[in-house]
Chains A and B, each alone.
Chain A
């Protein structure tokens, strides 16, 4: 309660003042010592806010980067997406309660944003997927095929697959994060899995354990 009251008090101060204050102690944020003693309720300078943010980036950017890579399919766009999301949380660093959840939400919503799609680089592979890549180990080969196939999905289909199967989110959570209906999540999942099957027979092996609605039918 004290934390919430403190957040409310700080929000009442206005954005400029809040910039120079920081609330430490939240699980998703590194605790930052303040000028007046740090911790809860301490008024700190901008440098402390920056330090707290940098620490968060150091700790979580690798995991967040992996999600960004899955969502975009290439390093350049993944970096762009991740930095965009981190920059956004930097501006709201003092107001956001759960920084990682905020960044993840931004990652997903930005990944399917139409405005972002307008300035996204064109897909690197427009041709058909190779049926076999004889020079690779089978597992590595499957990964490469999946990676390429993911690039052939729509951003929203990719986001649904990543949320459902990479992050193991429920349909309701997925719909909440993407800001769409549960029915949309179901249909997008079904279309995405069907497309993966269609793109390469080897990928059918990956998705056969799932129904068209995305529910598992058997063991792994």
Chain B
């Protein structure tokens, strides 16, 4: 006798097995039941996901909600706030960046924090370190729906990165580096250099007013060759868009869109006050004096207007690099420093404050006319799109399954052993 015969003996001696009479129908019933259970589970899971997604902290903001003023205070974004690309804000009210790079295991990064309506916070990881001819490395559109950033492919190939906050997508504008938005947000002012502006030597270039949607240059005029890149270049479009004031070094020039130069003057130590240097009526142009005071030029001829009324008001709020006029509330200028937005009343009112360590700030200028609102707790965006959140959910699910499943299996085995 060998193994084969022995196995056949065992098989022949095995007890007859019972097979359920209605196995065919039972199999189909079980399949239907399991499919129903699977569908139910998917339904419940989907409901849970939707609930979690729409919980406070995960609400999705509808684009362009209007009627909100700026938040009076913005804070450090919640841990693992969602990326703007995965959870678009619609519109940002405030954008700010730290004064130093953020260090992580992946290296250095230069993230921007974007704050939208309903205290929604998002992060935008800037792909590269950047510098700017204007001293600012990002420019928020007046309606808060787009953000311009310098985009250097190479020293001689400088363009503009436009981040669309309604979709989180990025477009490149080839015409040059960003300087400012027009007051109505319909155009952007760029500078193009005929070479590498970070190199030495005199360099000519041009100012280009561009349609941000199409990238088409709608107005362009030449800049004289200069080596004063590091001194900054400031440009401000008049409220009606017919004139553009440009300061290059000590030279302040007002160009007409219709052609030619309206006037030009040399400034000793003053500088153009920022992208909203034109008063809303277009009759004055704000410049910052040597000690930080704000003065006015008559836009007809470029003459200094005495007793403008602002010069004695908290001059310390303006006058350091980065401080500029970003809008007006009536006749009162709104000044933005590196970390605050201030209404230059007497005494001055802080409209927006930022957390310690903020190095650069931009706000949606269209909201300056509305009173700031006191913010609630910050929300980092839909939970499911936050970095690492899905991984944490999976880890939690596996842990839960292990915590519940292992004891359940042990109990079941014990029960079966006792029953057997």
Contact with A along B375-410 (1 / 0, CB 8 A): 000000000000000000000000000000000010
Interface pair B7/A162, CB less than 8 Å apart:
yes
Q: How far is the CB of B33 from chain A (nearest CB, A)?
A: 13
Cα(A61)–Cα(B409), bound, Å: 31
Q: Is A210 an interface residue (CB 8 A)?
A: yes
The answer to whether residues A143 and B26 also contact, given A61-B19, A165-B3, A209-B3 and a CB cut-off of 8 A, is no
Contact with B along A136-161 (1 / 0, CB 8 A): 00010011001100100000000001
A57's partner among B6, B13, B19, B26 (CB-CB below 8 A) is: B19
A69's partner among B11, B26, B27, B409 (CB-CB below 8 A) is: B11
Q: How far is the CB of A67 from chain B (nearest CB, A)?
A: 7
Cα(A205)–Cα(B2), bound, Å: 7
B7's partner among A91, A161, A205, A209 (CB-CB below 8 A) is: A161
Chain B contact residue count (CB 8 A cutoff) = 34
**Contact partners of A166 in chain B: CB under 8 A:** 4, 7-8, 11
Q: Is A106 an interface residue (CB 8 A)?
A: no
A78's partner among B2, B17, B412 (CB-CB below 8 A) is: B17
**Contact partners of B24 in chain A: CB under 8 A:** 49-50, 53-54, 90, 93
Q: How far is the CB of A29 from chain B (nearest CB, A)?
A: 13
**Contact partners of B7 in chain A: CB under 8 A:** 70, 146, 161-162, 165-166
Question: Within residues 287 to 314 of chain B, which ones have a CB less than 8 A from any CB in chain A?
Answer: none
The answer to whether residues A143 and B19 also contact, given A121-B416, A166-B7 and a CB cut-off of 8 A, is no
**Contact partners of B17 in chain A: CB under 8 A:** 61, 65, 68-69, 75, 78-79, 82
Chain A contact residue count (CB 8 A cutoff) = 47
Contact with A along B1-41 (1 / 0, CB 8 A): 11111111111111111111001111110110000000000
Interface pair A139/B1, CB less than 8 Å apart:
yes
A69 and chain B: residue at smallest CB distance: B14
Interface pair A82/B19, CB less than 8 Å apart:
yes
Interface pair B16/A65, CB less than 8 Å apart:
yes
Q: Is B373 an interface residue (CB 8 A)?
A: no
Cα(A193)–Cα(B15), bound, Å: 25
Contact with B along A178-209 (1 / 0, CB 8 A): 00000000000000000000000000011101
Q: How far is the CB of B353 from chain A (nearest CB, A)?
A: 59
Contact with A along B258-283 (1 / 0, CB 8 A): 00000000000000000000000000
Interface pair A121/B420, CB less than 8 Å apart:
yes
Cα(A102)–Cα(B28), bound, Å: 18
A206's partner among B3, B27, B413 (CB-CB below 8 A) is: B3
Cα(A79)–Cα(B18), bound, Å: 7
Interface pair A143/B27, CB less than 8 Å apart:
no
Interface pair A90/B15, CB less than 8 Å apart:
no
B9 and chain A: residue at smallest CB distance: A143
Cα(A87)–Cα(B12), bound, Å: 24
Q: Is A122 an interface residue (CB 8 A)?
A: yes
Q: How far is the CB of B189 from chain A (nearest CB, A)?
A: 62
Interface pair A86/B23, CB less than 8 Å apart:
yes
Cα(A70)–Cα(B11), bound, Å: 6
Cα(A123)–Cα(B2), bound, Å: 25
**Contact partners of A88 in chain B: CB under 8 A:** 27
Contact with B along A85-102 (1 / 0, CB 8 A): 011101101000000000
Contact with B along A7-34 (1 / 0, CB 8 A): 0000000000001000000000000000
**Contact partners of A119 in chain B: CB under 8 A:** 412
**Contact partners of A162 in chain B: CB under 8 A:** 7
**Contact partners of A19 in chain B: CB under 8 A:** 28
Q: Is A83 an interface residue (CB 8 A)?
A: yes
**Contact partners of B18 in chain A: CB under 8 A:** 79
Interface pair A146/B15, CB less than 8 Å apart:
no
Cα(A162)–Cα(B4), bound, Å: 9
**Contact partners of A93 in chain B: CB under 8 A:** 24
**Contact partners of A66 in chain B: CB under 8 A:** 11-12, 14
Interface pair A220/B4, CB less than 8 Å apart:
yes
Q: Is A168 an interface residue (CB 8 A)?
A: yes
A86 and chain B: residue at smallest CB distance: B23
Contact with A along B222-246 (1 / 0, CB 8 A): 0000000000000000000000000
> Which of B6, B9, B416, B420 has the most chain A CB atoms closer than 10 A to its own CB?
B6
Q: Is A4 an interface residue (CB 8 A)?
A: no
Q: How far is the CB of B28 from chain A (nearest CB, A)?
A: 7
**Contact partners of A86 in chain B: CB under 8 A:** 19, 23, 27
Interface pair B4/A165, CB less than 8 Å apart:
yes
Q: Is A118 an interface residue (CB 8 A)?
A: yes
B11 and chain A: residue at smallest CB distance: A66
Q: How far is the CB of B243 from chain A (nearest CB, A)?
A: 71
The 6 residue pairs across chains A and B that have the minimum distance between CB atoms: A87-B27, A69-B14, A65-B17, A66-B11, A90-B27, A166-B7
Contacts A75-B17, A79-B19, A150-B10 given; 18 further ones with Cβ under 8 A? A19-B28, A61-B17, A65-B14, A65-B17, A65-B19, A70-B7, A86-B23, A87-B27, A90-B28, A91-B31, A122-B416, A122-B420, A142-B1, A165-B7, A166-B4, A206-B6, A207-B3, A210-B2
Residue numbers of A with Cβ under 8 A of B are: 19, 49-50, 53-54, 57, 61-62, 65-70, 75, 78-79, 82-83, 86-88, 90-91, 93, 118-119, 121-122, 124, 139, 142-143, 146-147, 150, 161-162, 165-166, 168, 205-207, 209-210, 220
29 A/B residue pairs, CB under 8 Å, sorted by A = A50-B25, A53-B23, A54-B24, A69-B10, A69-B15, A69-B17, A70-B7, A70-B11, A70-B14, A75-B15, A79-B17, A79-B18, A87-B27, A91-B27, A91-B28, A118-B409, A121-B420, A122-B413, A122-B417, A139-B1, A143-B6, A143-B9, A147-B10, A161-B7, A166-B8, A168-B4, A209-B2, A210-B2, A220-B1
